[in-house]
A and B are shown apart, each in its own frame.
Chain A
Amino acid sequence: MKNYFLYIWYISAKDIKVELQRKELLLLTIIFSFTCVVIFNISIDVSRDSYIRVLPGILWVTIFFTSVLGLNRFLSRERDSGNFEALLLLPISRDILFLGKVTTLFLFMIILEILIFPIFTIIFDLNIIHTSIILVAVLATLGISVIGTIIGSMTSNTGVRETLLPILLFPLIFPMLLAAIEVTSSVLRGETWTEYNKWIQLLAVIDIMFSIVCSFLFTYVMKDY
């Protein structure tokens, strides 16, 4: 069991090392998300009260678009270079490989959110750094990473992967986006935990369910790679 988690970490640590050498993915997505935030800020001219209504949507749509961009690049880069075949030849089960990729994506998106949240707070002059929002961000990010990795693995060897990934991904992560937007809105409106904790529970259930199902599915997705 110790080796199981160790191997997941080896896969993820290698991805992080490669990314630190290239600095391509993180820079690209940071610039993209910053551009999104600035465009939204310029194009939406509303009062502070209206901000509270629209800002959660802007925040999570920005995170969704950025994660799709990063996901496409992250999975296709390794597949195009042939390195993914080397990982499939390792004497480990496919679920280790899957969870290794999920871990990398999760860490990568968390880093991105650590940067996006303060930018949002500064640009929109509205504090979104709150324990419940951080909790919902962690849960939603985990869900997006799990579903994104399985769908990204399915689409990364198709010719239309850039288009296909968001089309397939969006319906599956829609409940998560909805929950994240609802919790963020509730917190900004000053509601209490009891009023929005059902959304957090929903997110946790979705995360557990998809993590188990997708770990098994990955073996079949990788069949005849």
Chain B
Amino acid sequence: MIEKNSIEINNVTKSFGSNPILNDCFLSVRASERYVLLGSNGSGKTTLVKLLTTLYSPDQGEVIINGYNSSNHAEQIRTIMGYVGHNSLLYADLTAFENLRFFSKFYPHIDFDEQFEYLSRILNLSHLINQKVGKLSHGEQKRLSIMKAMMSSPSILIMDEPDAGLDVNSIDNLTEQFFPNVINGNMTVFLTTHNSDFALSVANTIGILQSGKIEFQAHSKDEFPELIDKYKSINESVL
């Protein structure tokens, strides 16, 4: 049986002015896979994420998410996708509840009360829900940002360096609480990070982005150590 791909990037090129960021890039992520993309600073991870989330459009090639081409079905893609970025993407002047309520209004298919009750309990946010987002710590804002992304019950979750700025305990919470409890078996997760330990703890597949292409990939846990060694040597050569 041929496995269905949730994410397909075919021959994508993206440049800003004369500066090429992605160059003939190919990527396939199977449905229900947890794909972690490693890459050093400036390797093009965020550009790739912005292409997947339809914020950018490719100069050449195609981005296909669950069968939808991003060039002409961007709205459908955004309906089935959750996104957790560098920033919390929440309004600091509104309370956590007001933020979640506002963003959920654009997903009429969801049962807000049910999702809210379930996620606030599982992400341990119930006690913070009436506080203004600007008053929350970075870690709390990140959890809230994850809750916001999960409110629409997405089939694909894109996370751009979700571990950035988090302390060791918060990263442990993310790997031990969030991934086993919140991510259901059918959800595809695409995640970028610098942190190889974090990648190892959550990934089914790991890829390395270098010079605008996915240069190396490992699809099983047995192949991960070798891939991580490659990533470390790439990082050392960059430094």
Contact = CB atoms under 8 A, between A and B. Distances in A.
Given A90-B106, A91-B79, A91-B106, A81 B94 contact: no
B78 A91 contact: yes
A85 B55 contact: yes
Nearest to B149: A89
B94 A82 contact: no
A188 to B, nearest CB: 41
Interface of B: 53-57, 75-76, 78-79, 81, 83, 85-94, 98, 102-103, 105-108
B218 to A, nearest CB: 30
Interface residues of A, number: 22
Interface residues of B: mostly helix, strand, loop or mixed? loop
Interface stretch (A16-24, A50-58, A126-134): A16-24
Contacts of B81: 89
B108 A18 contact: no
A17 B90 contact: no
A89 B57 contact: no
B108 A3 contact: yes
Given A82-B89, A85-B55, A85-B89, 4 more contacts: A17-B94, A18-B94, A82-B86, A89-B89
A93 interface: yes
A17 B101 CA distance: 13
B105 A223 contact: no
Contacts of B56: 224-225
Interface in A130-163: none
A85 B89 CA distance: 7
